[in-house]
Structure 1
Amino acid sequence: MPIKKIRKRDGRIVDFDPNRIKDAIHRAFIAVELEDGEKAEAITKEVVKLLEERFKRKIPSVEDAQDAVIEVLRKKGYGRVAEEYEAYRREKAEIRRLRKRLGIEEPKLTVNALKVLRERYLLKNEKGEIIETPAQMFMRVAKAIARVDRKYGGDPRESREKFYRMMARLEFLPNSPTLFNAGTRLGQLSACFVLPVEDSLKSIFKAVMNMALIEQSGGGVGFDFSKLRPKGDIVKSTKGVASGPVSFMRVFDVATDVIKAGGKRRGAMMGVLRVDHPDIIEFITAKQKPGVLSNFNISVAIPDEFMEKVKNNEDYWLINPRNNEKVKRLNAREVWNLIAESAWKSGDPGVIFIDEVNRHNPTPAIGRIEATNPCGEQPLLPYESCNLGSINLSRMVEDGEINWEKLRETVRNAVHFLDNVIDANKFPLKEIERMTKANRKIGLGVMGFADMLIKLGIPYNSEKALSLAEHLMKFITEEARKKSVELGEERGPFPNFDKSVWKDKYHAMRNATVTTIAPTGSISIIAGCSSGIEPLFAISFIRNVLGGKRLFEINPLFELVAKERGFYNAKLLEEVAKTGSV
């Protein structure tokens, strides 16, 4: 007898639709093999047949149907697909329980978010067993960061609830090291660091050791290698010749290879070299060879003078940093074209317009900025660190409009949270603690911008989107600065305030910087939103993450629209996952 009805988890009886079973099976096949729509069709027929045999006189439940799917998959020899299906089923059940506890509404904590949290974020005991839930993780972080309020005469309980609520609702998330380490013995909470590298073997290997300590705790590091003497230059102490910056960068690269950052993610570095360094051509082309400097992003530091020479098609001098002697002339436009060609071939190098960066340096009297963190969004002084956090913009849209009051409140709470992180932090080096606490830089950014546009019905590549982005970031920056000024008046300004560009504009300011736009690779998975300010990478794709895990991603807003408009099916998802687009 054909199955006509099925019982849902809430007890409702609804029409039985075998296509829903087929889509779920197909998704499991896609996650394992990225194909096999025909196999999903055949398995579905077997499952329906099995249900018809077993439920001749009563209505099957959703769980009965899922049990039948696993049974048939195993019987047909698709063990891996059965495991994927069963794991997805378990995770969905856990998410339903979490949703009740956290009060998270649609779009809710996703299966892939739960996978990433389990793999890398949730605390584990000595046996590697997970000992906290996502809710407990958010509370662990909220408690550790709110505790700082007591130092300034505030009430940690009130802040703890605010911090917990905005993380649990996925409205704001701090950078990964804060989620990893807050409330633990390690306690290192920053993501971004810059370390100096001077022209001596002692300085170089001190930087390697310091880098190892930072990466071990989950941070990423930027370096400027421009002070190192060029390849083939004289080394007086040994009467030998220098290896040059690119060779020494390989030492940093190999060291990073054996240190998985924080034991939870791959270490990452930024390597910077000035365009007038004698080894600049070797540096520009270094990553065209597969596997070379694979843990580095590299960027060429470019001053205004060089760009003028590019514009005028003139030559410029390469300068030996050891003695400031001119060693060779190159054509600026040819070097610029080589940078572009190499970036096209390998993705590297990027460029840092270093004079422009320093025009926006908030503490020029303290020092000149020479490098950034690994992804380039946070310029920092030597020995400086910064902790980041991002607001999920998709959560700021309600009934097709931006809730500006909610956004204002989230910005204010986020600045409070990030300022507290500086005091809660256990820094890996004393020099870093001194410099970080002297400037108290924080980086509040955004994620879910593309999702926000989708909810607002605005095309990403439109003038309207550009105009909204400008208005949005002006609002966030102004509100973040207002909150930093308030904190500066309540708690005292950052110690270098009187040597900063802010001293003539404000009575006090707590943080030398307040905003930065980070890529949010991992935390956007947890938040279930598009990363940073990027457009959607694809509406459906397979994501490879640390540890060899494959995550089948589908944009939840696309899935919602596809279901509402009646064109959702797994075959479509398979085709989209292969190409990334409809």
Structure 2
Amino acid sequence: AVTVLERRYLRKDNQGKVIETPEQMFKRVAHHIAKAETNYGTEADAREMEEAFYELMTDLKFLPNSPTLMNAGRQLGQLAACFVLPVEDSMEGIFDSLKNAAMIHKSGGGTGFSFSRLRPKQSRVGTTGGIASGPVSFMRIFNTATEQVKQGGTRRGANMAILRVDHPDIEEFIDCKKEQRELNNFNISVGVTEAFMQAVNKNEPYDLIDPRDGRKVGQLDAADLYQKLVKSAWGSGDPGIIFLDRINRDNPTPAIGQIESTNPCGEQPLLPMEACNLGSINLSKFVISTDEGPMVNYDGLADAVHLAVRFLDDTIEVARYPLPEITKMVRGNRKIGLGVMGFADMLFQLGIPYNSEAAIESAEAVMGFIQEESHKASRLLAAERGPFDNVDRSIYKADPGSAPRNATTTTIAPTGTLSIIAGCSSGIEPLFALSFERNVMDNDTLLEVNPYFEKVARERGFYSQELMDEVAAHGSIHQMNDIPEDVREVFVTAHDVSPEWHIRMQAAFQKYTDNAVSKTVNLPGDATEDDVRKVYDLAYRLGCKGVTIYRDGSKENQVLSFSGSEDTADTFMAAVKDRPETLEGFTTRVKTGLGQLYVTVTEYAGQPFEVFATIGKSGRSTTAKTEAIGRLVSLALRSGIRVEKIVNQLKGIGGEHPVFQEGGLVLSIPDAIGRVLDNRYLKGADAEAGGKGGNTLMGETCPECGKTISFEEGCMTCHFCGFSKCA
């Protein structure tokens, strides 16, 4: 947790040195958010609430979304995680949206778009007589722009693109991410309608509609298109599905407009120019021991929910937004999204298997309680401060006196890095592993064991360090017969849980969530297209608002497992050794004690492929040795050796003429080459961004530590070092 905080959240000086402790961060956030209290009460009220907010966060019972932790009380002041922008069917409208997206990414937010309003490919353009290129072509422009604008100055922005299933270009859209490096800054989802799903079930054709005038312009076989969607998701995980009519059924402000898109991870349906402020309750902190056994502390949970709702409403007051239109819409609807994390850890403490009827009942009970209490808290705030401004355009129009302060209150959002800070399981996902090696300070690793599993192992007398190492090697204890059967039943991990239980759990939480649920259904590598279809069918039948799947190995053939995954990655890297005709790269000049060193690195898929090193005004021997180092590094890279291993070998090699320059002491030529690779790929801005395009030669591995990425909550999360990114 400290490593993640120091890398991403704590304040740093101009030299990059951390100048804030975690406690000071929480104090900074609590103080800034509590300023909103002075709009409705006294300075004393604000100080009291500041202390309450601080205690709630330092007890790790609740954490707001990452932008709030990062930016509250700092110059940027942008505290919202996600936004939705309109894309109008005109050149001006398209590029206005592109400009606005750049401003949001610059401030640290993610963006969702519906491209459904754009005229289809080959349509006539009235003003010029030309031919329209269609939504997918403009998505590529948005993707390229995202490459150039780092999110909050640190990482590339994340986008969601949605196209209605009845848009004439829907088939091109479904195929647009078949190439793994195409549109790599986008999640994509098909906006599915009730009419389409009914046509699928009846094996009938359905209509394609021109978005400009609503005319029927063709038909497709619904079952065939559904199967095409399934096949694409089976192959690459894209696209996901969003059930648009279901989302709009729960739209609290239909008079303002229809919901067309969600945020990048899919859990937050939003109107155009709307943003949402998210936060999560840590359920693992609300289990208490009683004479009847462990139970959920509902009294404590109610207190936390009421305080968290107030925190999130205050956040809207003090936050700065990138555009005035967003400020107006956000403060008009005041949507907040209170969710949960630590659900799997809660089940461990209660002794309930994740894949059981008891777990479904627990999910509905705890989320139903949070939903009820959050609505109650919002109505109490409305009595104190007034309902949201757009209440006269909402479902509460007939009885504004009963309207809440916030148009929505609950969302199950991803909690990748938040759960690391809180020391709990992610969101509502099952645990990804019971034991694993986590990267800590100074490139050291630490064997991390789930505390609840370790406690049971010690109490039941089967704990040993050898066992923990074996668990870390496998990730799961499902097949480990030395562990008691009842323990194996309770302590399940993501890949022990069948797709049906993943969907049933998502539906249980969706039942009591205003917005939507971010969750990934993990499928084994040998899952079939029919298995994917069953997941989609079940998600529709059980009332989910969207669904995302990840099949092992479907991203760049990377095996998401614990046994042999590194060998698989190295094998893939080793296969990429035939040099393409043209490669792009960069050249860095480094001052050394033997002259100016020029290090040129060419890249393949955003990662180093070969290194050319030349030294100016030096003797032949030095020149030859420099060239030799470059050749050997190139050979290592093209043979599958990881960048960090090369850097570890080169950095620190001493020479006869060390020299100071900006960034520290350069000891030698190999040390300089190691520093160039380290700065570019292992730390700094490009590492935060995941390199160019966010892909690595190993496929879906972490761009920061090289370990395997987990697909969960609709996102990519590295549990080894804390990296997270919208998938």
User: Which range, TM-score by smaller chain?
Assistant: 0.7 to 0.9
Gap change, CA 1:358 and 1:552, over 3 Å in 2: farther
SS at match of 1:247: helix
| Match for residue 151 of structure 1 among 21, 39, 52 | 39
Alignment of 1:118-517 (within 5 A): 118-154=6-42, 155-399=45-289, 400-504=294-398, 506-517=401-412
- State the alpha-carbon separation in 2 of the partners of residues 143 and 208 from structure 1: 35
Greater fraction of residues in helix: 1
- State the alpha-carbon separation in 2 of the partners of residues 573 and 133 from structure 1: 32
Q: Which residue of 1 aligns with 2:421?
A: 526
- State the alpha-carbon separation in 2 of the partners of residues 577 and 480 from structure 1: 39
Shift of 1:569: 4.7
Code of the aligned partner of 1:132: E
- State the alpha-carbon separation in 2 of the partners of residues 507 and 176 from structure 1: 32
SS at match of 1:241: coil
Tell which deviates more after alignment, 333-342 or 322-331: 322-331
Gap change, CA 1:564 and 1:263, over 3 Å in 2: farther
**Structure 1, unpaired ranges of 5+:** 1-112
Alignment of 1:92-111 (within 5 A): none
Shift of 1:126: 1.4
Could you tell me whether the CA contact under 8 Å between 1:397 and 1:455 is conserved in 2? Answer: yes
SS at match of 2:177: helix
Q: Which residue of 2 aligns with 1:25?
A: none
Tell which deviates more after alignment, 336-345 or 273-282: 336-345
- State the alpha-carbon separation in 1 of the partners of residues 470 and 98 from structure 2: 46
Gap change, CA 1:311 and 1:432, over 3 Å in 2: same
Residues 407-462 of structure 1, C-alpha deviations (whole Å, 9 max, x = no match): 00000000000000000100110000000111000000000001000001111111
By relative contact order (CA 8 Å, sep 6+), the higher-ranking structure is: 1
Code of the aligned partner of 1:432: I
Runs ≥4 in structure 1, deviation > 6 angstroms?
Answer: 548-552
Could you tell me whether the CA contact under 8 Å between 1:177 and 1:217 is conserved in 2? Answer: no
Gap change, CA 1:550 and 1:235, over 3 Å in 2: farther
Could you tell me whether the CA contact under 8 Å between 1:287 and 1:293 is conserved in 2? Answer: yes
Shift of 1:153: 1.2
**Structure 2, unpaired ranges of 5+:** 478-727
Could you tell me whether the CA contact under 8 Å between 1:275 and 1:300 is conserved in 2? Answer: yes
Code of the aligned partner of 2:421: I
Residues 520-569 of structure 1, C-alpha deviations (whole Å, 9 max, x = no match): 11111111111111111222346799xx9988654232233334445445
Q: Which residue of 2 aligns with 1:55?
A: none
- State the alpha-carbon separation in 2 of the partners of residues 549 and 235 from structure 1: 59
TM-score by length of 2: 0.62
> Does 2:432 align with 1:537?
yes
Gap change, CA 1:258 and 1:421, over 3 Å in 2: same
Could you tell me whether the CA contact under 8 Å between 1:354 and 1:370 is conserved in 2? Answer: yes
Alignment root-mean-square deviation, CA? 2.1
Could you tell me whether the CA contact under 8 Å between 1:524 and 1:530 is conserved in 2? Answer: yes
Gap change, CA 1:171 and 1:244, over 3 Å in 2: same
Gap change, CA 1:392 and 1:314, over 3 Å in 2: same
Gap change, CA 1:544 and 1:212, over 3 Å in 2: farther
Gap change, CA 1:552 and 1:179, over 3 Å in 2: farther
Code of the aligned partner of 1:123: R
Q: Which residue of 2 aligns with 1:581?
A: 476
Code of the aligned partner of 1:215: H
Shift of 1:148: 0.7
- State the alpha-carbon separation in 1 of the partners of residues 422 and 396 from structure 2: 34
**Identity fraction in percent:** 60
Code of the aligned partner of 1:236: G
- State the alpha-carbon separation in 2 of the partners of residues 276 and 257 from structure 1: 30
SS at match of 2:273: coil
SS at match of 2:176: helix
Shift of 1:246: 1.2
- State the alpha-carbon separation in 2 of the partners of residues 117 and 341 from structure 1: 40
Code of the aligned partner of 1:443: G
Residues 375-413 of structure 1, C-alpha deviations (whole Å, 9 max, x = no match): 111111000011000000000112222111110000000
Shift of 1:265: 4.3
SS at match of 2:217: strand
Could you tell me whether the CA contact under 8 Å between 1:393 and 1:449 is conserved in 2? Answer: yes
Shift of 1:207: 1.2
SS at match of 1:409: helix
Gap change, CA 1:427 and 1:243, over 3 Å in 2: same
Code of the aligned partner of 1:409: D
Could you tell me whether the CA contact under 8 Å between 1:120 and 1:264 is conserved in 2? Answer: no
> Does 2:457 align with 1:562?
yes
Gap change, CA 1:363 and 1:543, over 3 Å in 2: farther
Shift of 1:199: 1.0
Gap change, CA 1:215 and 1:551, over 3 Å in 2: farther
SS at match of 1:536: coil
- State the alpha-carbon separation in 2 of the partners of residues 474 and 489 from structure 1: 23
SS at match of 1:561: helix
- State the alpha-carbon separation in 2 of the partners of residues 503 and 479 from structure 1: 22
- State the alpha-carbon separation in 1 of the partners of residues 381 and 370 from structure 2: 16
SS at match of 1:330: strand
Gap change, CA 1:266 and 1:168, over 3 Å in 2: farther
How many aligned positions are there? 469
Q: Which residue of 2 aligns with 1:20?
A: none
Tell which deviates more after alignment, 464-473 or 314-323: 314-323
- State the alpha-carbon separation in 2 of the partners of residues 138 and 311 from structure 1: 52
Could you tell me whether the CA contact under 8 Å between 1:544 and 1:551 is conserved in 2? Answer: yes
Shift of 1:574: 4.4
- State the alpha-carbon separation in 1 of the partners of residues 117 and 287 from structure 2: 48
- State the alpha-carbon separation in 2 of the partners of residues 359 and 539 from structure 1: 39
